[in-house]
Amino acid sequence: MKALSTFGKGKRLSGFNAVRVGARLLKHSAKYPLYRHTGIPKILPKYARISVTDMCDSRCNMCHIWTLHKTDTEATNKYPKHSDFVDTPKLRSEMTFEEFKQFVDNNPFLEDIMLTGGQTSLKKDIVKYWLYLDEKGYRTGGPTNTVDPENVIAVQGELLSKLSGKHTHSIAVSVDGLGDMHDKIRGVKGGFEGALKFLAWAREQQKKYPFFDVSISHNLTPENFRDFPKFVDYFVNLGYKPNQITFRPTQGLTRFALKTPTATQIISDKSDAMKQELLTMLDGMRAKYKEYDDYYVRGIREFYEHQRKHVIPCYAGYNTFFADAYWNVYPCAPEMNERFKIGNLRENGFVLKPLWESERIKKIQDDIKNEKCVNCWTRCHSAQSTMASPTRLLKVFKDNAWRVISKPDHI
């Protein structure tokens, strides 16, 4: 289970390390329910997800990030390169490496700092960000599109040659369908070929860099969910393990006023037949691949079935948060909006503590506790919420008991 690898201080979870990490998680997990219900003990978040840039070269139909920065379309043939982004005050106000360093140094209690975007490889000095995390003992990596495989390969190649190798470097490649289906959802012709090119390159690198994990990350949309079994079979036939293919309900972002085809389209009352089809597909996948009969995929099923109810109590804003490229802090990516804005780290010397002591965070945490949010079920947020409950953790341990006797592997 990929999410668990976050908590091994960047080391692979197997054998004794799996037992050690499990025991540590269990110890931590008891504190969060108490904090959630009584406000005591006061706990700072442990998991950060940082969007380093809003620049993106993809044109995904389920996400509008790519509309946030202007590109010089005259100069753009297929997709924008870094030099095609117009130099605007907004682009110039994105986070800098110096700020990022301050953030890491000022909040040493953070256990995991995941970088995302936009497209991380468009951030000119992104290698420096990951190298700094590596130096400080964090695992590195994050999601990537492969619209421009040469650029991603250049960035990852440089990074791999400079990382210490002591911590896992995990890259999740977004692939939302086979061939034209991927290109249609991602809005760029040839995108699927780009993904295959990057994956083939990454596989070669794994022989040289055993700390390099690569997974395929798939969004289920109303357009593609029927093809998902074929999609998994295709990659399994290429030699990928099912647990290297992660998937989730597409989540609409309130930041873009939910203008996107989302999970809700599948599960609205009007499309009950579609919902049934989706649930049958999921049950088929769980029966076919034992790796998919775990707490997370069972959660996807529950999410589609009872969409307005949280699958499990959510701990976004308690043990985890999301910061955008301008250092605005929110509990999670789906709720990046004024109502859920916790504060801005530029105004606090990049120190989280004052934000977690404010009246504002209490109100936001109460709303989340009372399920007054858009609701979602993604692996990163569900993992952090699972880690905050001893009973749910024990269920996850049961699903992952095989790790104790397994050899380290790409997960």
Check residue 376 for interaction with ligand SF4 (CB under 6 A): yes
Which residues, including other chains, have CB under 8 Å from residue 73's CB and lie 6 or more apart? none
**Please, what is the angle between helix 295-305 and helix 272-288, to 10°?**
170
Instruction: State how far the Cα of 118 lies from the Cα of 126, in Å rounded to an integer.
Output: 12
> Which listed residue (4, 163, 171, 316) binds ligand SF4 by CB under 6 A?
316
Check residue 361 for interaction with ligand SF4 (CB under 6 A): no
Check residue 312 for interaction with ligand SF4 (CB under 6 A): no
Check residue 365 for interaction with ligand SF4 (CB under 6 A): no
Check residue 375 for interaction with ligand SF4 (CB under 6 A): yes
Check residue 191 for interaction with ligand SF4 (CB under 6 A): no
The closest alpha carbon to 293, from 400, 392, 156, 163, belongs to: 400
Binding span for ligand SF4 by CB under 6 A among 10-18, 263-271, 280-288, 309-317:
309-317
> Which listed residue (145, 151, 262, 319) binds ligand SF4 by CB under 6 A?
145
Check residue 66 for interaction with ligand SF4 (CB under 6 A): yes
Q: Nearest approach, Cβ of 389 to ligand SF4 (angstroms)?
A: 14
- Is the CB of 260 or the CB of 400 nearer to ligand SF4? 260
- Is the CB of 65 or the CB of 352 nearer to ligand SF4? 65
Strands 47-51 and 320-323: parallel
Structural tokens at position 409: 């592997």
Q: Nearest approach, Cβ of 283 to ligand SF4 (angstroms)?
A: 24
Check residue 373 for interaction with ligand SF4 (CB under 6 A): yes
The size of the interface with ligand SF4 (CB under 6 A), counted in residues, is: 24
Check residue 58 for interaction with ligand SF4 (CB under 6 A): yes
How far is the CA of 385 from the CAs of 37, 41, 84, 93, 155, in angstroms?
14, 17, 40, 32, 32
Binding mask 107-126 for ligand SF4 (x = CB under 6 A): ----------xxx-------
Instruction: State how far the Cα of 373 lies from the Cα of 210, in Å rounded to an integer.
Output: 40
Check residue 266 for interaction with ligand SF4 (CB under 6 A): no
Which residues, including other chains, have CB under 8 Å from residue 323's CB and lie 6 or more apart? 48, 49, 50, 51, 329, 330, 345
Q: Nearest approach, Cβ of 280 to ligand SF4 (angstroms)?
A: 25
Q: Nearest approach, Cβ of 29 to ligand SF4 (angstroms)?
A: 17
Structural tokens at position 169: 């470097």
Strands 320-323 and 245-249: unpaired
- Is the CB of 202 or the CB of 380 nearer to ligand SF4? 380
Check residue 267 for interaction with ligand SF4 (CB under 6 A): no
Sequence-ordered alpha helix ranges (H) in 62-125: 89-92, 97-106
First to last CA, the chain: 6
Structural tokens at position 275: 């919902």
**DSSP strand E in 72-138: where?**
112-116
What is the contact surface with ligand SF4 in residues (CB under 6 A)? 56, 58, 60, 63, 65-66, 117-119, 145, 174, 310, 314, 316, 331-332, 334-335, 368, 373-376, 381
